[in-house]
Structure 1
Amino acid sequence: MPVVMVVLAAVWGAACGLLLPRPAYRFSVEPGEPWRPARGWLGARPGPRAAGLAAVTALVCALLAAATDTRPELGVWLLLAPLGVLLATVDFAVKRLPDVLTLPLAGLVLLGLGGAALLPEAGGEWSGALWGALGLGGGYLLLLLAYPKGMGFGDVKLAVGLGAALGWYGWGVLFVGAFAGVLFNGLYALVLVVARRAGRGSEIPFGPFMILGALAGVLLGGLGA
């Protein structure tokens, strides 16, 4: 059964990934600019290559299924994975995390985990998700107020949803996921500096590494549960 779940999750991820280039193209605009027109979801796609996004989303979904097994929160993780890949793609493209993506993500996590908590064999607690959302979101808000140049308000809104996902498995997973995001961002910046593709004043998107760190935390939490 776990093998079947992993395969089905990978197929789900690949199918969702094939649909991501159009919204990625549509939302990859500078602040203040209107969304780009991108009608339809199938056919020729502007923006990122569908094959790459499909492969990444399939891998993420497969890993989540392998770590979570058949516990009810897996359904929530599989819904969030394509949205996380989309957010990371947009942030890498224009260094922006649109409200139209971050706010639904936070709502989806809290509502989805609230439903999962009512089912048998749930691997976490909804109260932990709620406190995780408040804790990580509040922490990033304090960082924004202390050093506005270091991040944007989109990172704070993203932290609410990611904090809920991590807090589902407890404070330990929350701290690991939050720290992992900072670590991944620092390693990426170091690689760019060594390769002479970035300098001291270069702007590096933080959202993708927050998402990657949250993924690492959720995988750890799922395996531990």
Structure 2
Amino acid sequence: MSAAGLVGVALLGGVVGFVVPPLARRFTTPARLRRGAWLSPPVAAVVFVGLAVARGDDPALPVLLAVAAVGLVLAVVDLACLRLPDPLVAVAGTVALGGLTGAALLAGTPGRLLGALGGAAVAGASHVLLALLPRSRLGFGDVKLAAVLGLPLGWLGRDAVLAGLLLPHLLHGVLVLALLAARKIHRETLLPLGPALLTGTWLAVLIG
């Protein structure tokens, strides 16, 4: 992608960064939303530019950007109130499935759509099993989000799916250990997994 194109994507990300907090307020209270105050236009811009640099020649780039935009709202809400609202997850899933279907048809690569559906199935089934383990703290909101994120990962291929399955839990585990060591939390403290799922998926898309 050209430098001008990257600037345009960065500006688009910045606009998304401004819009995310008002959208997130629809699903939580303003007081709780302060916990998600880390989100800013520069963060959204970095997310968008990373996708553009890594996948600028992929016909599904607009879909990846749209899913990332919804994902930013989900991350803020989950940080604020430990919840991944079904309407937001459904929007992300609809955008991903509809967008990837269109991209596959326009590019004449229906096989990639089958890969996307396979990625969703693998990610969803894997997280169902994790949620059913004894003492698991994985919620079914996390399971549904993982299945949705499996769509773009499956579009990119097996390596992206594997990275997308491993990286979120690695990131979450490191964060938990760091917070425990700093005595910021205790063993029974509940932490949101949604941001880790989204960040891990973003990284998997960059390297997949």
TM-score when scaled to structure 1?
Answer: 0.84
Q: How far apart, CA to CA, are the structure 1 residues paired with 2:130 and 2:26? A: 30
Give CA deviations for 1:175-200 in whole Å, capped at 9, x if unaligned: 11110000000111111111110111
- Tell me the equivalent position of 2:64: 77
What is aligned with 2:77?
A: 90
Unaligned runs of 5+ in 1: 30-35, 37-45
Aligned to 1:132: 119
- For residues 163-182 of structure 1, give each alpha carbon's deviation from its aligned partner in whole angstroms, at most 9, with x where no partner exists: 11111111221011110000
Distance 1:19 1:85 in 2: 10
Partner of 2:198: 211
For the Cα contact (< 8 Å) 1:6–1:62, is it kept in 2?
yes
Task: Flag the 1:88–1:206 CA change in 2: closer, same or farther, 3 A.
Answer: same
Letter in 1 for 2:56: D
- State the secondary structure of the residue aligned to 1:200: coil
The alpha carbon displacement at 1:125 in A equals 0.9
Aligned to 1:43: none
1:62 maps onto 2:49 in alignment: yes
Change in 2 beyond 3 A, CA 1:84/1:214:
same
**How far did residue 147 of structure 1 move?**
3.5
Whether the aligned pair in 1 keeps the contact of 2:39 and 2:76 (CA below 8 Å) is: no
C-alpha distance after superposition, 1:19-58 (max 9, x if no partner): 11112122126xxxxxx8xxxxxxxxx9458894212111
Q: Report what 1:18 is aligned to.
A: 18
Instruction: Please give the residue correspondences for 1:1-225 in structure 2 after superposition, counting only pairs within 5 Å.
Output: 1-28=1-28, 47-48=33-34, 52-120=39-107, 125-147=112-134, 149-221=136-208
- Between the aligned partners of 1:137 and 1:108, the Cα distance in structure 2 is 17
Per the alignment, in what secondary structure is the counterpart of residue 96 of structure 2? helix
- Work out whether residues 18 and 40 of structure 2, in 8 Å CA contact, stay in contact via their aligned partners in 1: yes
SS in structure 2 opposite 1:63?
A: helix
Separation in structure 2 between the aligned mates of residue 157 and residue 172 of structure 1, nearest angstrom = 21
Deviation of 1:159 (Å): 0.9
Whichever structure has more helix as a proportion of its residues is: 2
**Which position in structure 2 is the counterpart of 1:33?**
none
Query: Which amino acid letter does the alignment assign opposite residue 49 of structure 2?
Result: A
Give 2:114's aligned amino acid.
Answer: S
Distance (Å, rounded) in 1 between the aligned partners of 2:128 and 2:33: 32
Cα distance in structure 2, aligned partners of 1:142 and 1:3 = 44
Identity rate, percent = 39
Q: Which whole-Å CA distance do the structure 1 matches of 2:168 and 2:87 have between them?
A: 22
Q: Is the 8 A contact 1:53 1:85 kept in 2?
A: no
Aligned pair count reads: 205
Give distance in 1, aligned partners of 2:78 and 2:46. 20
SS in 2 for 1:155: helix
Contact 1:92 1:205 in 2 (8 A): yes
Give distance in 2, aligned partners of 1:51 and 1:211: 15
Conserved 8 A contact 1:17-1:50: no
Q: TM-score, normalised by structure 2?
A: 0.90
